[in-house]
């Protein structure tokens, strides 16, 4: 995964929707050193990979048949459909999506699931979608 993502020219977004996915970000839990090193390498300034993970390393990622997927994916879809855009904005930025997904997942799961992210410091808050 690291080699494939690092070889992509331009800014790359990597979404991880799996139980304990925050382990991949080096959060408390059972993260392996190799996984943590990979995530740190991917989100470094020179590689520029923006990473969103569905939960912390100590949490499961919830699913619901009504959503036809997990809470994280449901929140991402809602966000990209325009719900992440601030009032009177015709676009969605990385920061808007990050805040929206975090709050939406916590709402959907009653606070039982907390998404995490790794956004390189030098990455500007770019427009990533248009509001529909």
Mean pLDDT across 81-88: 91
User: What's the start-to-end Cα distance of the chain, in Å?
Assistant: 32
Selection from 42, 22, 21, 24 nearest residue 32 by Cα: 24
Length of the chain: 132
- Look at residue 6 in the predicted model and tell me its pLDDT: 76
Top pLDDT among 109 and 116 is at 109
Mean pLDDT across 102-130: 91
pLDDT at 132 over 80: no
Sorted by where each begins, the domain ranges of the chain are 2-130
Mean pLDDT across 59-87: 92
Ranges 4-18, 24-38, 90-104: which has the least confidence:
24-38
Mean pLDDT across 83-94: 92
pLDDT at 105 over 80: yes
Mean pLDDT across 7-25: 74
The Cα 121–Cα 118 span in angstroms is 9
């Amino acid at each position: 995964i690291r080699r494939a993502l690092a070889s992509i020219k331009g800014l790359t977004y990597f979404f991880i929707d799996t139980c304990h996915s925050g382990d991949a970000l080096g959060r408390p839990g059972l993260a392996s050193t190799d996984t943590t090193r990979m995530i740190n390498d991917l989100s470094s300034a020179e590689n520029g990979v923006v990473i969103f993970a569905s939960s912390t390393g100590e949490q499961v990622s919830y699913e619901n048949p009504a959503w036809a997927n997990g809470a994280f994916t449901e929140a991402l879809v809602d966000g990209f459909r325009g719900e992440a855009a601030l009032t009177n904005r015709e676009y969605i930025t990385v920061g808007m999506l990050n805040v929206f997904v975090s709050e939406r997942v916590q709402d959907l799961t009653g606070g039982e699931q907390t998404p995490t992210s790794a956004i390189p410091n030098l990455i500007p808050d770019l427009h990533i979608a248009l509001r529909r």
